Structure 1
């Protein structure tokens, strides 16, 4: 019995040493040796530069900028040149002239009086052909060319509205880029804290594994000496198998999260991503998030107008309003003036000439369908306004919800810390009772398991608090 108590005392000392060393001698970086260490801010910066969604967003901003510049060109004259040359299989214009049909009775009487004189002057064949029909043909081939400039004077406001819509589109692309930034940062931070959680749980497993290894050695010695039962050794080995199973799951999950982080940040998947050890941050009590609250305890958020989500809703209302006006403009008269210089040789001679012109287009029957289109756009505008009101209320609810989540997560972390302290005390008591022979190995291993679970719950509570803070910052646009 004395030998058994001596072995138990040695085991207790080793257990205490292992837990103390786990709290003090933590490695400075987590990950395989030789890898590169990334802080959270470094990962965010890399993601904002290299993430595919960010690259697409920047391209969309550039495209919207070019569209705005394209719309601006509609204020200036449209200059175009045309040219055509042709050759037909026969003349395009042909006409027959009958002199007899063109002569009046008086003219015929005069020609009759002049006939003897003309017979003396003209040959007989020419004189005979004067009264016969004649055929004329032209434009079998030719060339046409011209340059024209058209300046819109009034287009119902379509050009002005088109430019406003283009500028609005550019603003929307910038806001969408801001939303992409928020989304990418949120994904990176969420995966980062998930990886931190796995790393810390692996560290806890390392401490437990060392403790179990020490207990196993002592129990094996006691079994050989005949002062302990083989069942105690089997319980330790089963616990070691459970630890190995947990380690395998965590390692696989860790590898997957690292691949996700590498993909989000545009990094190579092959290199190891190591994250600085967060043990001290988890062990220390975090400063509460400065939540702004009203007299009734409700969260006070930053003005919604600062949020890109709300600004996008406002832009959608503005776009619907401009589209309604554009529909009205399509049914108004349009006026344009222009000038041109043209050339053709259709009549076998080169002809050059300039001209100025004005064109007026007044839609008449288009107002029938246009009136329905205008009413449809008016309903769409009202729908956008209703959507703005509804989503603004949802944004305010999200602020209150995330504020509550932060407060709850802070309380959960405090409870988890208390659980760790209680589990530590419970393990100390079990050590003493096992030393006195009043408890079993099962009781001691159960106390160790409870401490491990409490430490894991504290890690989960810490990560949950970080995610709650992130959600609050995303909902309010407030930076801590």
Structure 2
């Protein structure tokens, strides 16, 4: 190629690379986590559960206030409830002396009377009852309602934590796959160089055609692996986009790298202290509290209920003048469940047993949380040490490839040894990528199980 064409081509390539860079859409890990929290449907449902629990709490608070009710009734009978007929006739005139009635000489005519009462009427009543004592059920119900809000808040925190962890896992999976793709491209470039050397040696009669075919087969294998890897990256990116609520974009670039900046001891936390930070632990304590409150509610059902109230009644039927009339009243009520205490003793014992079950479950699951924290710490340390081992192995593989390259050029080793050294380098680089991405995931997992994520 003539030199005068070299510079324009370099400039064109640089411009093309710049335009590709501009066309790319870059997302940091924090960007993706924020989108996941905002768009994840599980978190949205958790927020709705909190709002529902708040409404239940407000509803329970209304039990402290008087209960106002209104009743209306109208009726009409086929026959009046009260019917009275008095026949007419002559009635003796009473002069004030009872002794003269049997022999009365003066009479007054009475035409008779017929009465029909209560054939139809309309009644309306309004009452307001203020509970004075309800066996503690109102207070306990409000405590349960507040506990429900707290439980749903803890569940929201757990949902966020799980979503963030899943986001990190998928994020670092895509980053590690892209790193492996870079390694594959590096190996392909090495294979291209080896192929040229082998082809030149074959043309010079230094090696046979079989050695060239070995390199060619290896190149075809690399191309197939590249296709599989690119398809894997595309599928992983599509799944990741769906998870964080983002439309799939083929130009998406994840900007964070696998560079490790923190060692495990920077985030170590004693397990006994860490378990207190766990929302799961808080939920276990709340489950015990909920059972205790349920027991109080059950006891309250068998205690006396006392209430006071006022009322007003309106009748549209009056015995004297057939006109509507109204009346008011004040009252007090006491309800004492006497016969229910027979069954109550068994119901309360049942609740006490459930309280103890909740305490046992809380203790057992707390111990499991401690084991989980210790397990996460062990795995984090192992993952950190695995990076050093993988890095040392990769350095040895690079040195091995360098020695084999020199020996191959000097005719000391054959092309199979050269290809094996390249494959070993690729594998060790992939192992280092896996070790770094694994450490990233173990790192956030440890933060999660210690209640800090």
The TM-score bracket by the shorter chain reads 0.7 to 0.9
- Report matched runs for 1:105-116 at 5 Å: 112-114=102-104, 116=105
- What is the deviation of 1:256? 2.4
1:93 matched to 2:81? The reply is yes
Q: What corresponds to 1:368 in structure 2?
A: 342
Structure 1 runs, 4 residues or longer, greater than 4 Å off: 96-100, 108-112, 291-294
Of 352, 359, 365, the match for 2:333 = 359
Unmatched segments (≥5 aa) in structure 2: 1-13, 89-97
- Specify the alignment match of 1:122 in structure 2: 109
How many residues align structurally?
Answer: 426
Q: Could you tell me which residue of structure 1 aligns to residue 263 of structure 2? A: 288
State the SS of the aligned residue for 2:69.
strand
* Most deviating of 323-332 and 47-56: 47-56
* Range with greater deviation from structure 2 (455-464 or 365-374): 365-374
Structure 1 residue aligned with 2:371, among 381, 385, 397?
A: 397
How does the TM-score come out when normalised to structure 1?
Answer: 0.82
CA deviation map 1:155-188 (0-9, x unaligned): 0000000000001111111111111111111110
| Aligned 1:287-366 pairs, distance under 5 A | 287-290=262-265, 300=271, 302-347=273-318, 348-366=322-340
Moved more, 142-151 or 442-451: 142-151
Superposed CA offset, 1:289-325 (max 9, x none): 226779xxxx555343222111111111111111111
Partner of 2:418: 444
Q: How big is the shift at 1:403?
A: 1.1
Q: 1:260-299, aligned counterparts within 5 Å?
A: 260-270=239-249, 272-276=251-255, 278=257, 281=259, 286-290=261-265
Assess, with a 3 A threshold, how the Cα gap between structure 1 residues 300 and 145 changes in structure 2: closer, same or farther. closer
**Distance apart, 1:271 and its partner CA:** 5.8
Name the counterpart of 2:143: 164
1:60 aligns with 2:35: no
Structure 1 partner of 2:164? 185
* 1: CA distance, partners of 2:100 / 2:197: 151
Contact 2:275 2:451 in 1 (8 A): no
Name the residue aligned to 1:148.
127
Structure 2 counterpart of 1:381: 355
Distance in 2 (alpha carbons) for counterparts of 1:99 and 1:270: 103
Q: Provide the residue aligned with 1:43 in structure 2.
A: 32
Displacement of 1:225: 4.3
TM-fit CA distance, 1:248: 2.5
RMSD: 2.8
Distance 1:214 1:201 in 2: 20
- Per-residue deviation, 1:245: 2.6
CA distance in 1, matches of 2:200, 2:138: 93
Q: Distance in 1 between matches of 2:217 and 2:250?
A: 35
Partner of 2:94: none
8 A Cα contact 1:412 1:461, kept in partner: yes
Q: Is the 8 Å Cα contact of residues 83 and 117 (structure 2) preserved in structure 1? A: no
In 2, distance between residues paired with 1:445 and 1:409? 30
SS of match in other structure, 1:278: coil
The equivalent of 2:72 in structure 1 is: 83
Q: From 417, 430, 439, give the equivalent of 2:391.
A: 417
SS at match of 1:122: strand
Query: Conserved in 1, the CA contact under 8 Å of 2:288 and 2:359?
Result: yes
SS state at 1:290 partner: helix
Higher RCO (CA < 8 A, seq sep 6+): 1
The alpha-carbon deviation at position 252 of structure 1 amounts to 2.4
- In the alignment, the residues of structure 1 paired with residue 282 and residue 209 of structure 2 have an alpha-carbon distance, to the nearest angstrom, of 70
Partner Cα separation in structure 2 for residue 301 and residue 463 of structure 1: 28
SS in 2 for 1:267: coil
CA distance in 2, matches of 1:216, 1:178: 57
Q: State the secondary structure of the residue aligned to 2:73.
A: strand
**1:84 to partner: Cα distance:** 3.2
